[in-house]
Amino acid sequence: MSLRVGVVGAGGFGQAIASAAVRQRHDVVLWSRRERSLPDSIRPSTAIDNMEDRDLIFLAAPARHATSLADQLGKVVDGRHLIVHVSRGLIGAELKTITTVLREHTAARRLGALAGPLVPNALAEGRPSGAILGTRFPEVTEMVREAIGGSDLRIYDTTDVLGVQLASATVGFLTVVLAYAQETGVEPSTLAVLATRGMVEISRIGQALGASEETFMGLAGLGDLIAAVAGDERAESLVGRALARGAELASAVAEAGAYVEGIEVAQNMIEQAHRLGLETPISSVFVEISSRRMTPEDAMHALMERRVGPE
Amino acid sequence: MLKRLFSERPLRLPHIKPYVPRPSDPSIFWFNSERGDIVSDVVNRICGAHETDRSRLEIALNDAAFHEIRRLEHQRDEEARDRLGYWRSMIRRIGKMDDAEQRQALHTIVSNMAHDVAGNFDPRVYRFARQAIPRLVAGVMEPRRFASSFTAPQSEVLSRVLRVQGDIDHLQYLQSEGSLVFVPTHSSNLDSIVLAQALEVSGLPPVVYGAGKNLFTNPIISFFMHNLGAYRVDRRIRVRLYKEVLTLYSQVMIERGYHSLFFPGGTRSRSGMIERHLKLGLLGSAVEAFTTNRVRRVQRPVWFVPTTINYALVLEAETLIRDWLTEEGQTRYIIEDDEFSQIDRWVAFFRKVVGMRGACIIRFGEPIDPFGNAIDEKGASLSPAGRNIDPGGYVERRGTPVVDATRDAAYTRELGTVLAERYERDTVLMSTQVVAHVLYRHLVQATPGMDLFGRMRLRSEVSIDREVVHKDLGDARERLLALEAKGEVRVSDVVREDSPNELLEAALQFWNGYHTSTAASLDGDRVLLCDPSLLLYYQNRMVSFADRIADTDQMEAACEIEALGVHR
C-alpha cells in the first residue's frame, strides 16, 4: 500500500529522502520555502498545508530552522501524523533536541530521529547503507522502513530517542576535530586515541543528560564517526580540513558549502558539561583552536600533559 | 482477629430495599449494580489473553504460586496458615495439569483476585460520610464547639483550614461529559480524605480510588473505604496476574465512565520533594481505557486533572523523612506504624492546624487529555497553536483506531513527563517550606563540605541572627513572586501577604508543639535550628527552585540543595 510521505526541507537530505521514497513507489510531496524544480515524481510545494494529508513527514532542515518549521507544521498536523527528523543539531544552551521542539510546537506525539552513517548521495542513489532510528513508537519504525528502507538501506531502531540525537550532534563536532587532526598530519595512533577519547568524552555528557552509553557506541555515535573518518566527504570534514589549512571559522564553513551544526553545538555542550561537573578536554581545546586562541602545537601539548588514568 | 475480620471481609450494611440511582446521581451510584459485570469483564479479559498460549498460561500460574509462597512464608500469619497449602499444592500440580485444568486454575486465581480488589458503594454510607465526617473533624479540631459543629449548616472550621483552588466550574462541566482522572501529588495518608472533602466542597462527584490494604486494618477506616468505592491494593503481592487485575480493574472503571483518583507517585513522597518520576501502571490504564473506547466507537473522553495537595504541616513528616534518610526507607513501601495509625497524633495535628491560616491548599490544575494536550472549556483537545484536534487521531493506524500496548505505553510515559511538569508549576509553596528552605540554606552555608548525614546530626548547634533570616525571607519571597508571575510556581496567601517576621512566626508556630521536636525556635534575637531533618523535609519541596531564588553568595549552597533532587 502506497504511503503519503511529506518532506519538509529541500536541501541535500530532503531531496535524498524524497528520491528514496519515490523509489519505493510512495506518493511524495516536498515542501520548501521557495519554488524548486524537482523530478516529475516528486510533487513540490511551498504551502505547508500540503502536509496535512501526509501519513509520515520527514523534517530535513538544520536545527536553527527547526523551531520556526515546527511552528508552521503545528498549524496543520495533529495526533494522526508521524514525524521524523534528520537534523544533526541541538538547540540553545540547554541542548534542546529537535523532538522536544516538535513536541512543544505541534500536537504530534509519534516522533522519531533518524541518524547514523547516512549520507544524502548514498540515500538518493540507493547505494547500500544503514541508519538508526530513535523512537518509542514501533509504528514509526515500521512506517519509516516502509517509506525509505529496503534491501539498500538497513534501518535499525532504538527507544533511546535522546541518545540518538545527542550522539548525532556531538559526533558532528568530533568529526570536525578529527578532520582537522588528519589534515595536520597526526599519526594514525594519535588519531585513534583522539577518536576513542573523544567518544568517551561525548558519551559521558550524553549519559549525564539521560542517554544510554550503548547508543553512543552504536550507529548513531561510533558508526557515524567511522563513516566520517573513512571519508564520506561530509561538510564537517571539509570544515575541519579548512581550519587546519588556516582558514577562519566563517570562511571554513563557507568553503564547505553546507551548514555545520556541530560547531554551534560544541560551545553549549561544553557549558552544559561543566554545569554537570564533567571535564571536556578535547572539545574545550578544539574550541580554543577554532577561535584562534590556541595553536595546534599548544593544544597537543595541553592534551598530552593531562594526568592519565584508567580507561 | 477483629482487625483481620474487617480487613479480609469489610463490613457492609444490610440492604432492606435496594437503592435505585436517580439520573442526577454521580456515576459511582451505579457501581453496585455493575460490580459483578465489571469483575467478570476483568476476569474474562485476563483469562482470554492467557488461554490461547499454553506456555504463557503456565508461566503465569508458576509466577503466581512462586510469589505467593514466598510472601506467605515470610508473613507467617493467619493468611499464611489458610493459603500456603493451596499454593504449595498448586506449584506441584501445574506441570501435570491438562489445558482445561490450567485454564480453570487461572480462572479461579484471577476471579479471587478481582473479587478481593473490587470495592463497594453504599449511598447511605456516602450520605452519612459527607454530613458527619467534616463535622467530626471540625469537632476534634475545636472541642469547645464540638456540639455546635454538628448543628452548624456549614463547617467554618474546615473551610478555614482547607482551601480549594482551580477552575472548579470547568471541572463541574467536564464531569458530566467524560471520565475525570484526578492525579494528585502524595504527601500523607490524609490525602485521600482531604481530597474527598475538596471534591465535596467543590460540588464535584465522588471518585473511585485504590487504597493500600494497610489502610483497611483500622476497622472504622476500612468500613468507610470499602463502602465508598475504594478498591483494595495489597502492595505485598508481587504476582504479575495481580498487577494485571489492578490495572485492568482501573481501566474498566474508567472505560465505563467512573471518575477515578490515583497517586502517580505510587507512595507518599518520603523526602517531601515534589514527585518527578511517576509510576506509570495506573496512568497507563486510563490511556488504555481511552483507546479501548475509541476502538469500540465509544466517544467518551478521558481527562486527567493534575492536582497538588499542599500542607503547611504534614501529619507523618517525622516518620517519612526518617525513612528517606535510612537505607531501609528506600525499599520500605508500607508503613503501618506511622503517625497516621495513631489517633492521638491526629487530634494533635488537627488541633494544631485549626488555629492557623492556610494549613492545607488543594489546587486542581488545568485538565489535560491522555496525550498531554490542554483542553478548552467544552473539553475539546487543543494543539499547542490552540487549534481543536481529535484525540482519537493518536490511536489511529492509517485511519483506523487500534489497540497497541507498546504505543500506549509510550504515550503514558510522555503523559508522566507532562504531569511532573504540571506538579512543579501548580505546587503552592507554604510558609513552613519557604522558612525551612531559608534556614536550611544557612545550615549548608555554615557547614561547607559536610555531607547530608553530618548536617542531620547538628541538632540545636547552629543559630542565625533573626534580622538576617528576615532579610533572606523577604528576598526569597520577592523571587518566588517573580517566578509565580512567570507561571513557574505558586505561593500561598500567607507567603504572599505576610511580613517576613510574620512568616517566620507562622512557621515556628506550626512546628512548635506538634512534632516530637520542633524544627526551629527563637533563642533571643537568634533563630536556633533544632531539628535539621524536619527542616530538610519541609525545605525539600523547594529543591527545584533553590537556584532560582538564591543570591550570588547563596548560589553554592543552593546548587548543593538542588542536587538533592537529581535522583528523586
Compute mean pLDDT per 10 residues along chain A, 311 residues long, and list them: 93 94 95 86 93 97 94 97 95 93 97 94 91 97 96 95 96 91 91 94 93 96 93 85 88 81 85 86 88 83 83 82
Residue A107 has its nearest CB partner, among B383, B404, B406, at B383
Of the listed ranges A167-176, A250-259, B122-131, B145-154, the least confidently predicted one is: B145-154
- C-alpha to C-alpha distances, A5 to A29, A50, A69, A138, nearest whole angstrom: 6, 11, 17, 18
What's the whole-number mean pLDDT along residues B446-459?
A: 91
Dist. CA A63–CA A101, nearest whole Å: 10
* CA–centroid distance for B498 within its chain: 30
Given this model, what pLDDT does residue B329 score?
47
Given this model, what pLDDT does residue B248 score?
96
Question: ipTM more than 0.85?
Answer: yes
Q: Is residue A119 part of a domain?
A: yes
At B283, list the grid cell: 496512568
Q: Is residue A16 part of a domain?
A: yes
Same domain assignment for residues A116 and A180: no
Same domain assignment for residues A272 and A200: yes
Q: Are strands A129-134 and A153-158 parallel, antiparallel or unpaired?
A: parallel
At B286, list the grid cell: 486510563
What percent of chain B is helix, strand and coil (3-state, nearest 5)?
60, 10, 30
Dist. CA A56–CA B124, nearest whole Å: 55
Residue B1: pLDDT band by 50, 70, 90 thresholds? very low
List the single best residue of B373, B407, B566 to mutate versus A (max A Cβ within 10 A): B407
Residue B335: pLDDT band by 50, 70, 90 thresholds? low
CA distance A75 to chain B (A): 7
- Using the structure block, give the residue that is written with the C-alpha cell 485504590: B210
Q: Which of A127, A159, A191 is the last residue of a domain?
A: A159
Encode B73-90: b = buried (16+ Cβ within 10 Å), e = exposed.
Answer: eeeeeeebeebbeebeeb
Q: Is residue A311 part of a domain?
A: no
Q: Tell whether B397 lies on the interface with A, counting CB pairs under 8 A.
A: yes
What's the whole-number mean pLDDT along residues B51-61?
A: 91
Residue B196: pLDDT band by 50, 70, 90 thresholds? confident
% of residues, chain B, pLDDT over 70: 86
Dist. CA B74–CA B66, nearest whole Å: 13
HSE-CB of B391 using CA atoms within 13 angstroms:
27
At A291, list the grid cell: 577561535
Q: Which residues of A230-295 form beta strands (DSSP E)?
A: none
Residues of A in contact with B410 (CB under 8 A): 136-137
Residue B10: pLDDT band by 50, 70, 90 thresholds? low
CA distance A257 to chain B (A): 35
What's the whole-number mean pLDDT along residues B271-285?
A: 91
Asked if A107 and B406 come within 8 Å (Cβ–Cβ), the reply is no
Q: Is residue A310 part of a domain?
A: no
Q: Is residue A261 part of a domain?
A: yes
Residue A137 has its nearest CB partner, among B372, B373, B407, at B407
Residue B458: pLDDT band by 50, 70, 90 thresholds? very high
Same domain assignment for residues A86 and A108: yes
3-state secondary structure of A171: helix
Dist. CA B416–CA B18, nearest whole Å: 41
Same domain assignment for residues A100 and A197: no
Same domain assignment for residues A48 and A119: yes
Residues of A in contact with B393 (CB under 8 A): 78-80
Same domain assignment for residues A148 and A168: no
A 141-160: CB under 8 A from B: none
3-state secondary structure of B26: coil
DSSP state of B385: T
CB of B242 within 8 A of CB of B41?
Answer: no
Q: Tell whether A275 lies on the interface with B, counting CB pairs under 8 A.
A: no
Nearest CA in chain A to B383: A107
Q: Is residue A246 part of a domain?
A: yes
Nearest CA in chain B to A142: B397
Dist. CA B431–CA B566, nearest whole Å: 24
CA distance A159 to chain B (A): 10
Given this model, what pLDDT does residue B147 score?
60
CATH number for the domain including A168? 1.10.1040.10
Q: Which residues of chain A form beta strands (DSSP E)?
A: 4-8, 27-31, 42-45, 56-59, 82-85, 110-115, 129-134, 153-158
Same domain assignment for residues A173 and A267: yes
List the single best residue of B368, B369, B376, B383 to mutate versus A (max A Cβ within 10 A): B383
DSSP string, B226-258: HHBTPEEE-TT---HHHHHHHHHHHHHHHHTT-
CA distance A292 to chain B (A): 32
For residue B564, which amino acid is it? L
Task: Give me the domain span that covers residue A131.
Answer: 4-159
Angle between helices B54-75 and B99-117 (to 10 degrees): 50
Q: Is residue A309 part of a domain?
A: no
What's the whole-number mean pLDDT along residues B527-544?
A: 95
Q: Tell whether B376 lies on the interface with A, counting CB pairs under 8 A.
A: no
Asked if A107 and B410 come within 8 Å (Cβ–Cβ), the reply is no
Same domain assignment for residues A275 and A145: no
- Residue B157, pLDDT above cutoff 70: no
Residue B355: pLDDT band by 50, 70, 90 thresholds? low
CATH number for the domain including A84? 3.40.50.720
- Residue B131, pLDDT above cutoff 50: yes
Q: Which of A124, A159, A194 is the last residue of a domain?
A: A159
Kindly report the average pLDDT of chain B as a whole number: 87
- pLDDT per residue as tens digits for the range B295-326: 999 999 999 999 999 999 888 888 899 888 88
Same domain assignment for residues A137 and A171: no
Residue B332: pLDDT band by 50, 70, 90 thresholds? very low
Same domain assignment for residues A183 and A297: yes
Residue A78 has its nearest CB partner, among B390, B398, B414, at B390
% of residues, chain B, pLDDT over 90: 61
What's the whole-number mean pLDDT along residues B491-499?
A: 94
Q: Which of A118, A136, A159 is the last residue of a domain?
A: A159
- Residue B353, pLDDT above cutoff 80: no
Same domain assignment for residues A105 and A194: no
Q: What is the dihedral of CA B114, B116, B118, B120, to 10 degrees?
A: 150
Same domain assignment for residues A168 and A153: no
Nearest CA in chain A to B373: A107
Q: Is residue A35 part of a domain?
A: yes
Angle subtended at Cα B369 by Cα B200 and Cα B420, rounded to the nearest 5 degrees: 80
Nearest CA in chain B to A102: B384
Residue B389 has its nearest CB partner, among A1, A78, A104, at A78
Work out how many domains chain A is built from and give that number. Answer: 2
Residues of B in contact with A75 (CB under 8 A): 385, 387
- pLDDT per residue as tens digits for the range B203-212: 999 899 887 7
